[in-house]
Structure 1
């Protein structure tokens, strides 16, 4: 599924295309997409396909098409402080983008069937925290991933404000998913080849809306021929942050505000959409006229004068447009102001490392 937008050369180009096609519609979703490079979630040797609007699968590792993720992010209507559950969390790409929006006081949990994929997701998250400058421009609610089947979640599990399921849900599992949702919460999942948004309006009332036609692999159901009862999957507990952790959050928030590197006030991750101008060429059409030579009718090709005029007008329009376009200025490299500020403080190196989350970059 995918291919709804043109292929991009890099992550920003991909987001420009998603915006132009109206898949990305809100500022906070655009910021999250620009902050995390989709290519970082591809295996080495496959990154050339990262900026195409196509799904990608290698073994158990899977990424949906960018147009799907953008529709999901918009439909979830994310806000700071919400709790989020990702059923079939995969590489953690979507969960990390969600974490940038719901912030450090939200809840961000994911459940994934395959252990190797959970390990891969944790590696990608660790790489983002240690090496991406975007980590210092946002306040992240770090995703916590567990291995298990999302159809076997413990019955005493807590409910969530927002839920996404990344696999096809059969009708007989729809109510199971709904029960995991808080009143007023939003659930987005594919049902019968339709990406569907479900809002829980009361204890036993829901509103549903189809968003997009999709094709997802169905949820995996465990076959237990021996009749044994499946072991319930326990989701991560809802924990209160330590005082030390809260201090780090507020110190970093204050320093970020002082350096003017706060994404809430500066759209530093956005860029003006400057699409490359594609020059359109018209082929001169050849038409046949017929003349009599003796008793024979002979075709004689000649150029269409009408097409020549159209071609000349098109060239004139292109020249006028090129006059109005200013030469592109080279992009200045982004500066990690928060990191520079922390490193300049007269503090012990161990405390600086703690404030930087022991980042390596």
Structure 2
């Protein structure tokens, strides 16, 4: 049995990480790919779920790399051996899975083709949890139109006043991607952030940025959106997903109300009834059943089909610069450097940056 290096969970009682080895995930099942990992991106979920992982579980979700082998029953449209791809897996849950390794096994319909002008580090930051969550929020939960291959969307295809889309925490990884996707879908995007990130977020195409610390920010967002002549804010994302941030995001909505997505379940009892608040979990797009937050999630075929459609257009948008990656903080050290990267994430000192490592 061939082995590979990987970052593994120690399990109880330490509930930490260790460098180790586990079998290369072969043989492949029908429809699967074996990807040689070239870069990984780090997410808060990677360190938050370490205490839940059993001994020997693979860690990490986001990866980009090169197709090493193809499983049986793959059609010609699937990535070929040697193709550059990116995606994510459900890390911290299985002993045979986890992106923080030399190889990862993935269904062929759950990766996207990385253009040659896009570095693996950038691809890992896009095609992992951050970009996939944004696609789930914008296209699946809120129902905005998904771009089609070869078809440009956004402001150039939308005439008249645009509906408003709010992102609370626009500088977060998911916030940056959701802002860009909402703009591509023809919405007027208004976000909150720290002042030092205002110019950067405007470079991504958002219409206006507001200081999240300003107590008047919700009223300012609402007034700005309604001055555009449209219906004001009608949908959006709270990328912080705490009670206080969600209540503030709700205050930005126009007179017709709308639909707000959170990344964690939030109690908003007593808030406006004309704003629907709904949480989302990105792992449903992988199409497998799982358990999280003491709740059982059934296999979701519709979400998997939707993310597969998104992946078919994602690479084109990235290659043309219509969807830009997060600003990257590239750390040294390869797989052994991941633990330091997770500690950096936990420190809370990063702002508008995504931690990535080359493997």
State the TM-score bracket (shorter-chain normalisation).
0.3 to 0.5
- TM-score normalised by L of structure 2: 0.36
Higher relative contact order (CA 8 A, sep 6+): 2
Higher fraction of strand: 2
Greater CA radius of gyration, 1 or 2?
Answer: 1
